[in-house]
Amino acid sequence: MYWDVIDVRPMDNYRIYVELKDGRRGYFDVSPYLEHGVFKELKNTAYFAQVGIVFGAVTWPNEQDIAPETLIAGLQPIDGEYHSAFA
């Protein structure tokens, strides 16, 4: 799928850098989800940093994930300087 995530990296303040297969990239703020159910575990910054990709989706080891449509709807642009850090 074109919305498959090809790169994800933890950022400060419970945000993640995301790059999609179709070339879109930006950050997603996970903080609004941290008080809900299984996402509470993400408040542990060491655990939050274990973010990864499984079958093109953003996931964590204990099966927390961000639905692709939620990710795309919340994706925010990042300035060019930050992009260059990942080049």
Which domains does the chain carry?
A: 5-85 (3.30.2020.10)
% residues pLDDT > 70 (the chain):
89
Average pLDDT over residues 54-71: 93
Q: How far is CA 58 from the centre of its chain?
A: 6
* Mean pLDDT rounded to a whole number for the chain: 89
Question: Is residue 86 pLDDT above 80, yes or no?
Answer: no
Question: Is residue 61 pLDDT above 80, yes or no?
Answer: yes
Question: Is residue 7 pLDDT above 90, yes or no?
Answer: yes
Average pLDDT over residues 41-67: 96
Spatial distance between the Cα atoms of 39 and 7, rounded to a whole number of angstroms: 21
For residues 56 and 86, the model is more confident at: 56
DSSP label of 80: H
